[in-house]
Amino acid sequence: MPFAMNVSSVLSALLGLNRAGRILYTSLFVLAVPVMLAWFVLLPRLQFSEADERLFRAARHGDLAGVAQSLAAGGRIDAAAPIDGKTAIFRAAVFGHPDLVSDLLKRGADPGVRGRDGKTVLEVVTAARLEERDATRARALDAVAAALRATESQR
Amino acid sequence: MRQQQVIGFLFVALALGCSRIETPPQGGDPERALVAATDLRDVAKVQGLLVSGADPNRMVQHEGHSHSAWSTALQKFRPGHPEQVEIIRALLKAGANPDAAWGTSEGSGTGPRARAVGTMEPLFLAMLHPDPQVVQAILATKRNAVGGETSLVMAIESGQTRIAHLLVEAGVDVNCHPGANTPLLAAIEARDEAMMVYLEEHGAREKP
């Protein structure tokens, strides 16, 4: 009989029916907040290394050699920026560097990543293209969009 | 006995809390004339009233709302009016607070909360109709005036390069994170390459 009683008390705890169960579920709810915060905010910030920082800087400037160097130094190609959650390919794309965008895609960058605003690279570039009035920059953005669409159709 | 102690403690806490609420500075006739002259952009009259001791920080009723001359000058400012810049400089020289302007905010919508009397940040008000001269005047009075970080991000988002440079030169942190964006992210979203390079030169990073 003690065995059966144990089983029933564990069961009712798991269902949250007795005191132990209430304590269990309350602590789970309370702990969930800091855990989620650590997972989604703190961890990406901690993981973002100096090599990632250099990768992003090179991506913003369309610097192919710089990207190769920072990747060799341990930069992760799909590292998410700590604040907006976007990856290096976003930076290369918005500043109109089609060569670098193709290079990053060839190296295995994921074009389907969404930033914290929920948009993919192609969506961001399309939105930017709509408000671009300068002809040279518009052409660069078109080239970036073409490079992104090319990989999309390959998949 | 214990209940009395708790009530006593609450009372003390309430008194302490109330003492921290600033009472709105109310002005008299000199301030009323100063606000009117500021609204009319009458530089000579503003200067004359300031010399005779009118306080730019004190509020009076003007057009149905509480305003100080300082909040009026900032809220009514529109770029391309040198006399308004003159007035702002004169008010600052006469002791207008570079950290806070007492007045009624021009809130959007209707209802009792749309227009609230309180302090507003002069730098923030200056960014509503941005002009480098106004920002420069505030920063010349106090280098680290309240609201510099928000203003820097706003200036970059709206392409106000000169104002952004003024704020960075006044020592606003390029890696600040006042709202959703850092200055660098604002430059990236505005696709402002020159601003991005400028911020990088001053040490801006993805991970602030």
Residue B73, domain CATH: 1.25.40.20
Q: Helix H segments across chain B?
A: 2-20, 29-39, 43-51, 69-75, 82-93, 122-126, 132-141, 148-157, 161-169, 183-189, 193-201
Q: Which of A48, A94, A137 sits opposite B207 (nearest CB)?
A: A48
How do residues A79-97 score in pLDDT, each as one tens digit? 999 999 999 999 999 999 9
CB contact set of B179 (below 8 Å; sequence gap of 6+) = B150, B153
Judging contacts by C-beta atoms under 8 Å, the chain B residues touching residue A47 are none
* CA B38 – CA B43 distance, rounded (Å): 8
* CA A4 – CA A131 distance, rounded (Å): 70
Mean pLDDT, all residues of chain B = 91
Which of A11-15, B186-190, B204-208 bottoms out in mean pLDDT, i.e. has the lowest? A11-15
Tokens read off for B143: 């280098």
Q: Which of A56, A95, A132 sits opposite B206 (nearest CB)?
A: A56
Q: What is the pLDDT of residue A65?
A: 96
* CA A71 – CA A66 distance, rounded (Å): 8
Q: Which of A53, A83, A128 sits opposite B191 (nearest CB)?
A: A128
In this structure, the answer to whether residues A42 and A84 fall within a common structural domain is no
In this structure, the answer to whether residues A119 and A61 fall within a common structural domain is yes
In this structure, the answer to whether residues A78 and A100 fall within a common structural domain is yes
Residue A1 has pLDDT above 60, yes or no: no
How do residues B132-191 score in pLDDT, each as one tens digit? 999 999 999 999 999 999 999 999 999 999 999 999 999 999 999 998 899 999 999 999
Among A41, A49, A60, A76, the residue to mutate for chain B (most B Cβ within 10 A): A60
Residue B20 has pLDDT above 70, yes or no: no
In this structure, the answer to whether residues B36 and B86 fall within a common structural domain is yes
* Residue of chain B whose Cα is closest to the Cα of A127: B189
Judging contacts by C-beta atoms under 8 Å, the chain A residues touching residue B181 are 83-84
Residue-wise DSSP of B183-202: HHHHHHHTT-HHHHHHHHHT
Minimal C-alpha gap between A71 and chain B (Å): 17
Residue A143 has pLDDT above 70, yes or no: yes
What type of residue sits at position A100? L
CB contact set of A41 (below 8 Å; sequence gap of 6+) = none
Q: What is the pLDDT of residue B55?
A: 95
What share of chain B in percent tops pLDDT 70?
93
What share of chain A in percent tops pLDDT 70?
96
* CA A111 – CA A121 distance, rounded (Å): 7
- How many folded domains does chain A comprise? 2
Give pTM, 2 decimals: 0.82
How do residues A60-76 score in pLDDT, each as one tens digit? 999 999 999 999 999 99
CA-closest candidate to residue B124, choices B149, B88, B158, B97 = B149
Q: What is the pLDDT of residue A125?
A: 96
> What is the number of other CB atoms lying within 10 angstroms of the CB of residue B48?
14
CB contact set of B39 (below 8 Å; sequence gap of 6+) = B62, B63, B72, B76
B206 found inside a domain: yes
Averaged over A132-151, what is the pLDDT? 94
In this structure, the answer to whether residues B120 and B190 fall within a common structural domain is no
CA-closest candidate to residue B121, choices B90, B154, B94 = B154
Confidence of residue B117 (pLDDT cuts 50, 70, 90): confident
Rounded to 5 degrees, φ, ψ at B66 are: -75, 130
Averaged over B25-38, what is the pLDDT? 94
B17 found inside a domain: no
How do residues B34-56 score in pLDDT, each as one tens digit? 999 999 999 999 999 999 999 99
In this structure, the answer to whether residues B165 and B110 fall within a common structural domain is no
Among A54, A63, A70, A83, the residue to mutate for chain B (most B Cβ within 10 A): A83
How do residues A14-47 score in pLDDT, each as one tens digit? 888 888 889 999 999 999 999 998 887 778 778 8
CB contact, 8 Å: B93 with chain A? no
Higher pLDDT, A43 or A53: A53
* CA B53 – CA B48 distance, rounded (Å): 9
* CA A94 – CA B191 distance, rounded (Å): 7
In this structure, the answer to whether residues B168 and B112 fall within a common structural domain is no
Residue B31 has pLDDT above 80, yes or no: yes
Contact A52 B206 (CB under 8 A): yes
Judging contacts by C-beta atoms under 8 Å, the chain A residues touching residue B196 are 60, 95
Residue B183 contacts residue B202 (beta carbons within 8 Å): no
| Residues written for chain A | 155
Domain limits for position B42:
24-129
What type of residue sits at position B92? L
B142 found inside a domain: no
Higher pLDDT, B8 or B202: B202
Confidence of residue B109 (pLDDT cuts 50, 70, 90): low
CATH number of the domain within which A85 lies: 1.25.40.20
Judging contacts by C-beta atoms under 8 Å, the chain A residues touching residue B188 are 60, 91, 94-95
* CA B133 – CA B152 distance, rounded (Å): 15
* CA A83 – CA A101 distance, rounded (Å): 21
* b/e burial code for range B158-177 (CB count within 10 A of at least 16 → b): eebeebbbbbbebebbbebe
Contact A137 B191 (CB under 8 A): yes
CB contact, 8 Å: B191 with chain A? yes
Q: What is the pLDDT of residue B37?
A: 96
CB contact, 8 Å: B196 with chain A? yes
Higher pLDDT, B140 or B63: B140
Q: What is the pLDDT of residue A2?
A: 59
Domain limits for position A137:
49-154
Rounded to 5 degrees, φ, ψ at A36 are: -60, -40
- How many folded domains does chain B comprise? 2
B2 found inside a domain: no
ipTM at complex level: 0.80
Judging contacts by C-beta atoms under 8 Å, the chain B residues touching residue A95 are 188, 191, 193, 196
Minimal C-alpha gap between A81 and chain B (Å): 6
Q: What is the pLDDT of residue A42?
A: 79
Averaged over B58-68, what is the pLDDT? 92
Residue B114 has pLDDT above 80, yes or no: no
Q: Helix H segments across A85-132?
A: 88-94, 98-106, 121-131
Rounded to 5 degrees, φ, ψ at B30 are: -60, -40
